[in-house]
Each structure stands twice: as structure tokens, then as C-alpha cells.
Amino acid sequence: MRHDMVLALARPEFRAMKLPVPRAAMTALASLAIFAVLLLIAGKDPLRAYHDTLIYVFGNTYGFSELLVRMTPVLLTAVAVALPARIGLINVGGEGQLYMGGWLATAGALSFPGWPAWLLLPLMTLLGFAGGAIWALLPGVLRAARLVNETISTLLLNYVAPLIVSYFIFGPWRSTESASYPESPAFVDAARLPSFGGTRVHLGLLFGLVSLALYSFVIRRTRWGLEMRAIGGNAEASARLGIPVSRYILATMAVAGGIAGIAGMAEVSAIQGRLVSGLSPGYGFTGFLVAWLAGNSALGIVVMAFLFAVVSSVGDILQITQDVPYSVVNLLMAVILFIVLSQNR
């Protein structure tokens, strides 16, 4: 009886945004056209940028592998958004959670440089998870206690986490080798996540795909998932049915933050090899938009994260060849999103 009621409350499993292929193609073309016009106004050459991007990304395996590198952290930060979204929470703090994960993982790498990789890497992954989890738990507690809305608290904490990282790399962890550029000392080899076949594609990609699979499994196939969807459907009624809503809020936020934290761990361990201040060019925010566009569906997140990797390569190319700041790519993302948002009725 109770089970039936929980079932009745539960929101449908995945509500992927219905965007048929021709329409999606039209959206992409329209966005690229609008962005091209904006670039033309700024006196840049959009067609050359698009052409260069295509050559770079699909012209050889290395360029293509960089897409996978770029989408890896986004997969993880998107799960960090999708999971809390199932119970109606809006986690916009992936960026800060990523930084805290990278920070705590670095603490592990610097504290135990003598450990073998098979011990050190799992420890760093755990620490990365813990760093992100703590950072998301704080908004979770405030929300569960009905004190502060999690949207605004996660947003604010995004600005605090990079300051903690900066404090450490300018202070206690400052490398003596590089006097001019503040960064932590380089990690020992045992603290570096392995990469594949001469590219920068690393084990973090597997973390991302496994997280997505687990997320999908938990939501679809377990009692937890059912109860979470019930809370997402109607939190008050779920509480009346005896579902521990507060505990779900805390657990969901902690796990979500932890997953974003693993993205930070993977970035410092595999890509940077040390803690740096510009750890992420907004992967946390991108993850939010990717999860949102994908309607929180696991498969949708993979597709959207890949598309965003392509979009961000346009930014890379523009920066390298035409002296346009990388962040201009946000304009292209925004145009795409505005068009999609406008269609979703």
C-alpha cells in the first residue's frame, strides 16, 4: 500500500528534453550563425574559426582525444547537478566543489609522496570526494534546516573555494621551483592518474562514465531512487509517508558534491600534475547547463557534454588564432541555451 503511494508520487524516470534531430540541427546552425555575426561585429573571422575548429577536432586523433579530455570533468559536474535535481534541489555549486576536491586531493598527494600509486591514487580519489562532499554538505545542511535556499548558497560558495586554493598555493604549498607563477610543488609520478596511448585522455573519463551508470541505476532500479523521485514529486507528501526527506537532502548533496570533487581530483592529478589557481574554466557551471539540457538523463548528459566539448574547442581555437579571450565561448553557449530554452514549450 505504502509502496503504491510512493510510486504514485514518484516523478517519471527521465524527462529528456524532446528535441528531434532536425530541430537540434537547426538550433546548432542558428546558434553558430548568431555567434558568427557577433564575432564579425567584433572584427573577427568566424568562418575561419569554425573551419580551424573542424580541422583541429576531427582532423586527427589527438584533436579528437582533447574533446574527451574536455568532457571528462563536465560529465562528473553534470552528475553532481542531476542527482540533487531528482529531489528538487538545485546545485549550482559544482565549480566550488570541484576546486575543493582538487584541493583536498592535493593535500593527500603532498602528504604521502612515498606511497605507491595503487594506494595513493585511491586515497586521493577519496579525499577529492570528501573535499567536494563537505563543500556541498554545507548548503545541504542549511537547506535541510530550512535556513537558506541551496541555489544561492551553492553559488556563493563557488567564489570562496578558489580563494582557499589560492591561499594554499600562494602560502603553505607554494612551490619553491617556480618563483614567478604560484602553484603547488609537482606531484610525484605515483600521484598521477594514468593517461591512455600518448593522449591526455585519463582515467577520470572512466570515473565519469561509471558515475553516470551508477546514477542511472540508482534512480531507475533501487528503492533509494524511487524514494528520491517521490521527494522530487512532492516532498511534503513523501515526508508524511515516512520518507526521511532531510536525510535524503544531506546524503544527496554530499554524494553530488563528492562526484564534482572527483572531477577536481582528476584535473590536478591527471592534467595539471599540481594544484594551480585556474583549475577549471567553469566546468562546474557547464555541468549545470549540460545536466539541465539533458533533462538529467544519463545518456543525454554524455551527448550534451560531448557537444559542449566541441563548442569549447571553438573557444580554444579563437584564443590561439585570433586573440579572442577564451571566455567569449560562453557567448556561444549562451546563444545555444537561449534558443533551446525558447523552444521548450
Partner 1 sequence: MSTSFAAAVLTNSVLSGTSLLYATLGELVGERAGIVNLGLEGIMLIGASAGFAAAAVTDDPYLGVLAAGIAGTAANLLFGYVVIVRRANQLAAGLTLMFFGLGASALIGRPFVGAIVPGLPGLGMSVLGIESLGEFDLLVWLAAPVAVLLWCLIFRTSWGLGLRATGEDPTVAFASGRSPEVLRFQALALGGFLGAIGGAHLSLALALTWDEGMTAGRGFIAIALVIFARWNPLWAVPAALVFGGAEALQLQLQARGTAVSPFLMTMIPYLLTLLILVFWGWNRRSAAPASLGRSFYGVE
Stretch in the footprint of partner 1 (CB under 8 A) among 23-31, 158-166, 213-221, 230-238: 158-166
Would you count residue 334 as binding partner 1 (CB under 8 A)?
A: yes
Minimum Å gap between C-beta 98 and partner 1 is 16
Would you count residue 19 as binding partner 1 (CB under 8 A)?
A: no
Would you count residue 18 as binding partner 1 (CB under 8 A)?
A: no
Minimum Å gap between C-beta 325 and partner 1 is 4
In the list 60, 178, 222, 327, the residue contacting partner 1 (rule: CB under 8 A) is 327
Within 13 Å and on the Cβ side, how many CA atoms surround 20? 2
Would you count residue 166 as binding partner 1 (CB under 8 A)?
A: yes
Would you count residue 193 as binding partner 1 (CB under 8 A)?
A: no
Q: Which residue's CB is nearer to partner 1, number 100 or number 226?
A: 100
Would you count residue 235 as binding partner 1 (CB under 8 A)?
A: no
In the list 40, 163, 213, 299, the residue contacting partner 1 (rule: CB under 8 A) is 163
Partners of residue 195 on adjacent β-strands: 202
CA torsion through residues 26, 29, 32, 37, sign: negative
In the list 16, 28, 164, 214, the residue contacting partner 1 (rule: CB under 8 A) is 164
Distance separating alpha carbons of residues 289 and 304, to the nearest angstrom: 9
Distance separating alpha carbons of residues 104 and 74, to the nearest angstrom: 20
Distance of CA 232 to the CA centre of its chain: 22
The C-alpha angle with vertex 146 and arms to 258 and 256, in degrees rounded to 5, equals 10
Q: Is 345 helix (H, G, I), strand (E, B) or coil?
A: coil
Would you count residue 151 as binding partner 1 (CB under 8 A)?
A: yes
Total number of residues that touch partner 1 (CB under 8 A): 48
Distance separating alpha carbons of residues 116 and 96, to the nearest angstrom: 29
Q: Is 202 helix (H, G, I), strand (E, B) or coil?
A: strand
Q: Which residue's CB is nearer to partner 1, number 151 or number 175?
A: 151
Contacts with partner 1, 73-92, as mask; x by CB under 8 A: -----------------x-x
Q: Which residue's CB is nearer to partner 1, number 109 or number 328?
A: 328
Would you count residue 213 as binding partner 1 (CB under 8 A)?
A: no
> Among all chains, which residue has been given the C-alpha cell 510512493?
6
Enter the C-alpha cell of residue 39. Answer: 564575432
Would you count residue 148 as binding partner 1 (CB under 8 A)?
A: yes
> Among all chains, which residue has been given the C-alpha cell 568562418?
47
Would you count residue 260 as binding partner 1 (CB under 8 A)?
A: no
Q: Which residues contact 250 (CB under 8 A, 6 or more apart)?
A: 137, 140, 141, 144
**Residue 335: CB atoms within 10 Å:** 19
| Single-letter amino acid, residue 223 | R
Would you count residue 338 as binding partner 1 (CB under 8 A)?
A: yes
* Phi, then psi, of 194 in degrees rounded to 5: -65, 145
Distance of CA 338 to the CA centre of its chain: 20
Enter the C-alpha cell of residue 304. Answer: 550534451
Stretch in the footprint of partner 1 (CB under 8 A) among 14-22, 189-197, 217-225, 332-340: 332-340
Would you count residue 170 as binding partner 1 (CB under 8 A)?
A: yes
DSSP 269-290: IIIISS--S---SSHHHHHHHH
Minimum Å gap between C-beta 67 and partner 1 is 20
Minimum Å gap between C-beta 264 and partner 1 is 18
Residues 278-307 that bind partner 1 (CB under 8 A): 285, 288-289, 292
Query: Residues in the site for partner 1, rule: CB under 8 A?
Result: 38-39, 42, 90, 92, 142, 146-149, 151-153, 155-160, 163-164, 166-167, 170-171, 285, 288-289, 292, 323-325, 327-335, 337-338, 341-345
